[in-house]
Amino acid sequence: MPINITMPALSPTMEEGILAKWHVKEGDSVSAGDVICEIETDKATMEVEAVDEGTIGKILVADGTENVKVNSVIAILLEEGEEPADISTKNVEPAKIAAAPTPPPSPAPSAAKTLTPADSTAPLTPVSTPGARIFSSPLARRLAKDAGIDLSVLSGSGPKGRIVKADVDTAIRDGAPSNVQSVKSAATLAQGMGAKEVLALYEEGTYELRPNDGMRTVVAARLTQAKQTIPHFYLSIDCNLDNLLAARAEINAAAPKDKEGKTAYKISVNDFIVKAWALALQQVPDANATWAGDSILYHKDSDVAVAVAVPGGLFTPVVRAAQTKSLKQISAEVRDYAIRAKTKKLAPHEYQGGATAISNLGMYGIKQFSAVINPPHGTILAVGAGAEQVVAIKGEIKTATIMSVTLSCDHRSVDGALGATALAAFKAMIENPVMMLA
């Protein structure tokens, strides 16, 4: 009998996603393991493979459809000898696959322009019939509300004319009007500034309004939760990098080269930092902990997340059991994560979990900063740039390359003395890198 292909859950908490693209069409034959479509969440784009062989009999959810519920039927696979006439969708949940009716056509969009307050009162002829239901995705409705855009003036490019995020983005870019009330609402949400001050800025100049995408929304929500619910405290320490830099230069100089002169590996200072922090947590295992409400989880392995900046936010892919991996292994793994993070090709299991994280802004010249803990982690190590400084060493005035690091701790699971002990162990590893290679 025909086989239902359902929307997969890419993570334990996923409830819905975007069916970004089909790689097959109705009538195509597929085998187990063939990529049939791409599913997009706020964090990643994943390829979905067929688990059975057969023929794609019917595609129920079109490319670009948003808010597709997990376990909704997205297509139907026919087994050998079956025909499209054998397909029945009577047991398929209608709300999960039904598309909105096509609204009346709209005029072609106008040329892009810069938004000004004067535009907010310009009249527009609504696309939809007054009083009629406007079909749009929840994300499009939220973005339109935040931007003060009336959905009735838009035409949708989604399935059967549904208004989707791209339509709202286009409206904002092309100068769709926002009403005064919406501007006032946005102003009141600008924490730290009063509505009058924000409105004054709007009235005196032009501006560009950029709606938040899914990633930025999730980042904002999680970090707001972190600062509101996690009692942070901070510990800072300076580390002498001279021995580490010498060891790094020696290791990289010994790397084999191919015929084109390209080295097999190149260890970075950050690779040493990941290794040192992983080993430090093994020396002070009680600091390798996360808060779990009525319990504390003490982790056996040092699963270290590494913050990777991407447009619109960041990923924190996790180097699992980093204490067991060589510097070369850590270097290759982090480099691979960074490349795939920028194209949202990380699998959920690669950026979820971990007990701690490292955020390194040294490459931007930042000397010192304090990072926000990313739940459910118990700590995060903020790393600044190494800089040459004048220091006193055994009674003599010398120069050394000094790196400042700040450890943010969740006081519920890691107390002050415990965090300080772990940070001291990290400093010892950094200043005596041979200890990492033993």
Tokens of 224: 């707001």
- Please tell me which residue in 232, 299, 377, 411 is annotated as part of the active site: 411
Residue 239's DSSP bridge partners are 403
Q: Which residues, 6 or more positions from 427, have their beta carbon under 8 angstroms from its beta carbon?
A: 237, 239
Looking at residue 376, what DSSP letter applies? T
Nearest-angstrom CA–CA distance, 12 and 26: 30
- The number of C-alpha atoms within 13 Å of 317 and in the hemisphere containing its C-beta is 21
125 CB neighbour count, 10 Å cutoff: 8
Buried b (16+ CB within 10 A) or exposed e, 233-242: eebeeebbbb
- The number of C-alpha atoms within 13 Å of 270 and in the hemisphere containing its C-beta is 26
3-state secondary structure 284-353: CHHHCEEECCCCEEECCCCCEEECEEECCEEECCEECCHHHCCHHHHHHHHHHHHHHHCCCCCCHHHHCC
- Strand, coil or helix: what is 56? strand
| φ and ψ of 287, to 5 deg | -85, -10
| Closest of 293, 308, 363 to residue 338, by C-alpha | 308
Which amino acid appears at position 389 of this protein?
A: Q
Which amino acid appears at position 401 of this protein?
A: T
Which amino acid appears at position 202 of this protein?
A: Y
Nearest-angstrom CA–CA distance, 51 and 432: 51
Indicate if 377 belongs to the active site. Answer: no
User: Catalytic amino acids?
Assistant: 411
